[in-house]
Structure 1
Amino acid sequence: MKMSISFYYIFFLMLAPTFLKAQQSSFIYELNYKPISDSLKTEKIVFYLDIKNKESLFRSDKFRRSDSLRVKRGTANGFDMEYNNSQLYVYKKPESNEVLKYVFVPLIYTTYTIPINEDFHWTILDEKKKIDNYNCQKAEVDYGGRKWIAWFTNEISMQEGPYVFHGLPGLIVKICDEKLNYDFELSQIRDFKWKELYPEKFQKKISWEDFQKLQKNFYNDPLAMINKSDVISYDEGGNAIKTNFKEMKENTQKRIREKNNPIELDHKVEFK
């Protein structure tokens, strides 16, 4: 019996540095996605899943740098001009079973969160394969009106993954929807050296219906918050000309309609 206890104690000591490192790490994922669902064209965004003290924050490299600037100088970079996929920003607190999707309202610098209350009913399959250096196993789940296929590894014993995904018996190395509109894949692991996660402060929690209203309001008048007297347009020769705000509005609305492929398909707004 003593030999058995001694063996497992030594085994734990060997694993402990790796386990502790995983509890305070940055998992870097690349997202390849289709802005237009019926197009073959994809775009790529780099995201960080930062984990510290049993909490995690998933955000793009752009937002991560903005959060760092906010801590250092008190102000962050400005928000995007439109709602888009670089705004995938999720805070998870497993101890309280809390998952919050952040919503950044364009132009007005207001932040809300949507509580993600869905349970992830994973189906773990027998199929296995190696992705990079990790031995992975296949799993499936339905979320956001899409069927997702995941590959997780129990070599990193964390029930974590990109975006809102979590709950498998190991880190999610790769996850994509079956139509390959969204494809997250782990590319690097680094030490997380910040003192805290420093998530963006939010004004209040809202519902999906509230978020849909925000999107519709922005679509109906995307220039509402712009001080039009400050906008200067130029012709090809560099000469100042009168700004065509009607054309600017119509072009913005057209872009919103064309790139309307949200990750939560069941909460999609149909713009007209």
Structure 2
Amino acid sequence: MKILVTGATGTVGREIVKQLAEGGHHVGALSRNPGRAKFPDGVEAVAGDLAAPETFAAAFEGVEALHLINFGGDDCAKLQTGEQLVALARQAGVRRITMLLGGSSTPLDAAVAAGGIGWTFLQPVEFMANHLEWAASIRDEGIVREPFCDRRSAVVHEADIAAVAVAALTQDGHAGKKYTLTGPEVLSVREKIGLIAAAAGREIQLVELTEQQARERWAAAGFSPEAIEFFVEIHGSTPKIGYTVVPTVARVTGRPARTFARWAREHAAAFAGSPGRRSRRGARVSVT
């Protein structure tokens, strides 16, 4: 079976490509800059832009399953090319489509749902991989600066999101389903930092920002006013779906969802820093 994976260099896309290749599938991996990507041996690198489907139309030849994301470009804008993408998939004889949802609905969502091809929508909550954003400040200073530190999240491992996508791309029984994907536990910011401290074997200081300080930091980083309002809403008042554990990963893949402690151990080197900066008092979190 030939499977085309778009967003192949993204957090989830890389894992989907890896798991499909390990399963012996013929994989095409779409990237705007395939020359910079490092895909597993045997994976076909495909150059193209989701915002311009004509740039990779030839890559649909022989494709039976397709993984899509509903955003594109450096600004992660909502894709407006749903009709073209679905038309190319129908013409090629694609039988299954999975789509990773990001934020609010897009024209691509509607086009896929109405396109006459068996679709599966993937709606993950917060990615564990997002916490790599803390790596530089932990390595360099032993500090995390975050607002809303009591917020709770059922964070999900990117490899589990990919495993569900792989099942839906390669197996029957998933068409017409929207899967909410979570990890096996609900954790606060403080608890996640504690698990990273334990994995990295170092002390980490948590500095809690006020909402205004957080707004100023996001603005300085170049985020739009609309994006900042979204951050405040999602972090300051996390919707119930974000902190409610569901068993989808286990039900679809046949094994438990990965824990945040496991993810932290897998990425411990990213947070450890130099030996001279590690705490002699061991792993713990201090709060200011």
Q: Which TM-score tier does this pair reach, normalised by the shorter chain?
A: under 0.3
The normalised TM-score by structure 1 is 0.25
Q: Structure 1 or 2: larger strand share?
A: 1
Q: Structure 1 or 2: larger helix share?
A: 2
**Bigger CA radius of gyration:** 1
The normalised TM-score by structure 2 is 0.24
